[in-house]
Amino acid sequence: MVRYQNPVRLLLLAVGILLARLGLVRREHVVRTTDLSWPRIVTGLARMSKNAVDVAMVGIAVGEVAIAGVGFAGPFWGIAFSLGGGFAAGTIALVSQGFGANAHDEIGQAIRSSAVIVLALTLPVAAVFASIPHDLVALIANDEATTRAGADYLRVVAFGVPFAGLNLVGSRVFIGADDAWTPMLVRGGGAIVNILANAVFIFVLDMGVTGAALGTVLANVLVTATFVVALLAGRIPGVGDLPVTVDPFGTYLHWDTITDVFEIGLPVVGRNSVWTIAKFPMLAIVALFGPSVVAAYVIVRRIMGLMNTPGWGFALAASSLVGQELGEGDEADAEAYANDILVFSLATYAVFAVVVAAFAQPIVELFVGADADPNTVPTAVGLTYAACVAVLAQSVKGTAAGPLDASGDTNVTFYSQAVGMVGFAIPLAYVGAVVPAVGIAGLYLSFLGEALVPAVINFWRYRSGKWKAISQEYRPDSPVADD
């Protein structure tokens, strides 16, 4: 009953049922997609709110230099999510298909192998960040005060990198097993802990950006510990039994599974890394516009992250539901789910975009203190309007990638992201920075280029239907009929 009355669930159902009455989607698909996606959307809202609160708190407590510093450190922290989220795509593909085929041994093996891969890659990254944070931030920041603030943040948050990667794997395990409720509770609770810890560290203990980083590390450690205990015990007190458990004494270095996770996940790592790596030249270009534009850009990125939270649910719901149908060998129903989720997602994103556009200025003003540069707010408001248009394309981009991820067809989504960022977003921003006649409009167009180009390519690949044939390479050996 608690789940049914959740306002996010009710909003999604209202949008979905309206679409069903118009004959655009199937009602049963709306209900199942809503049940799987709304907890993930709540998780996204909690975590993106945490990111926004980080910026707002340090902005109010320290000023725009702190906002810019956290913004410049952000791409480095994003590497944890590129690695963890990328290989977690391999996890959800194997877990969802294994869950659909009742191949529980293969699910456990996928989880153990995914954890090994993520740890092997994130531990060295964390060591580098902790060792030379100032040198790294100085690569993109253009003044010492901003560099110092970013380095202080990165030095501490580095210790959370492996935990952030493992958290993404843990979350995808449950979503692949048709349970988005558990990761919502765990990761959403972690976001709340993060916000409360930040308030203490920043305002009570006066730790500034270091306090924001410390709160992030603490929350990620707690979330990882909870996922580990849940997967080992098969239950969480107050939540009940879980659909997946893991034998900690099973094989970790199972070569075939590691290979599958790598084949599926590596292009997604590349796809995620394109945006993460692109943040470095993008922020360097934005810095050419001046400090107030940097602060405005960082603020709008946090707002855009909040607007993009429906994609957290719809893309992963598509991966899970499509993967389960593929695991059962029902390609027609897999495609039907994917079609309906695409329409459902676009309509929901439109609702979010309209609301944010209507309240753009008061939303932006929440991030800045009384002594902010007078140009920061109007610049951020204009960028917010551009972001409201871009997220509509972001909807198609992310949701079309869902069935491709579920099937193991992840190469094209990597290429599409690269073309969008390198071929359009970065050049458009640079033109705005160096051609006065274009100016800030270059950043507006940059937002659209990074989303629209990959949206078109991902949708084209999805409509080709090739992903259904590719999925046969990764389906469990034991069909449902044999269980």
398 pLDDT more than 70: yes
Residue in 305, 298, 414 with CA at minimum distance from that of residue 352: 305
pTM: 0.69
pLDDT class of 402 with cuts at 50, 70, 90: confident
Question: How do beta strands 235-236 and 240-241 pair?
Answer: antiparallel
> Which one-letter amino acid corresponds to residue 304?
M
3-state secondary structure of 241: strand
How far, in Å, CA of 372 to CA of 292, rounded?
8
Q: Confidence class of residue 109 from pLDDT cuts 50, 70 and 90?
A: confident
Q: Is the pLDDT of residue 479 over 60?
A: no
pLDDT (mean) for 84-104: 65
Longest dimension (CA), the chain: 68
Average confidence score pLDDT of the chain: 80
Please report which confidence band the pLDDT of residue 4 belongs to, taking 50, 70 and 90 as the band edges.
very low
Residue with tokens 């640079």: 430
CA angle (408, 396, 329) in 5-degree steps: 35
Asked if pLDDT for residue 2 goes beyond 60, the answer is: no
- Residues 438-463 have a mean pLDDT of 91
What is d(CA 99, CA 114) in angstroms, rounded to the nearest whole number? 16
- The confidence score (pLDDT) of residue 347 equals 93
Does 412 score more than 90 pLDDT?
A: no
Pick from 404, 407, 408: nearest CA to 454:
404
In this prediction, residue 384 carries a pLDDT of 94
Measured at the CA of 319, the angle between CA 9 and CA 15, to 5 degrees, comes to: 30
Distance between CA atoms of 90 and 111, rounded to whole angstroms? 10
Best-predicted range by mean pLDDT among 29-43, 85-99, 249-263, 347-361?
347-361
Q: Please report where in the chains the tokens 């920075």 appear, as a residue.
A: 433
Q: Over pLDDT 70: what percentage of the chain?
A: 81
Q: Which two tokens stand for residue 215?
A: 């709160």
pLDDT digits (tens, 9 = 90+) for 64-91: 677 777 777 777 877 776 776 666 666 7
pLDDT above 90 coverage of the chain, percent: 14
What residues have CB less than 8 Å from 188, skipping those under 6 apart? 42, 43, 46, 47
Q: Quick check: 279 pLDDT over 80?
A: no
> How far is 17 from 326, CA to CA, in rounded Å?
26
- Res 194 pLDDT > 70: yes
Separation of alpha carbons 377 and 146, rounded Å: 20
Place 460 in a pLDDT band, splitting at 50, 70 and 90.
Answer: very high
Q: What is the CA radius of gyration of the chain?
A: 21
Candidates 373, 360, 358, 385; CA nearest to 441 is 385
Tokens of 451: 């989303």
355 pLDDT band, cuts 50/70/90, is very high
Q: Compute the distance between CA of residue 432 and CA of residue 393 in angstroms, rounded to an integer.
A: 22
The partner residues of 235 in beta bridges, in order of sequence, read: 241
- Tell me the average pLDDT across 119-143: 84
**Residue 327 pLDDT exceeds 80:** no
Confidence (pLDDT) at 348 = 92
pLDDT, greater one: 413 or 425: 425
pLDDT tens, position by position, 230-255: 877 766 666 666 666 676 777 767 77
DSSP state for residue 236 in the 8-state scheme: E
Q: Domains of the chain: which residue ranges?
A: 26-473
Distance, CA of 473 to CA of 467 (rounded, Å): 10
Does the CA dihedral 444-446-447-449 come out positive or negative? positive
Place of tokens 């994103």: 349
Banded model confidence at residue 103, pLDDT cuts 50, 70, 90: low
* Highest averaged pLDDT of the listed ranges 75-89, 170-184, 252-266, 373-387: 373-387
DSSP structure string for 147-186: HHHHHHHHHHHGGGHHHHHHHHHHHHHHHHTT--HHHHHH
Taking each continuous run of H as one helix and of E as one strand, the counts in the chain are 19, 2
Across the range 46-51, mean pLDDT stands at: 69
More confident call, 481 vs 19: 19
Phi, psi of 172 (to 5 degrees): -70, -30
Residue 93: which pLDDT band, with cuts at 50, 70 and 90? low
pLDDT of residue 480: 39
The mean pLDDT of 90-101, rounded to a whole number, is 65
What confidence score (pLDDT) does residue 102 get? 63
Interval 372-378 mean pLDDT: 77
Q: Are 442 and 433 in contact (CB under 8 A)?
A: yes
- Answer yes or no: is pLDDT of 17 > 80: yes
| 94-108, 139-153, 193-207, 420-434: which is most confident | 420-434
236 forms beta bridges with: 240
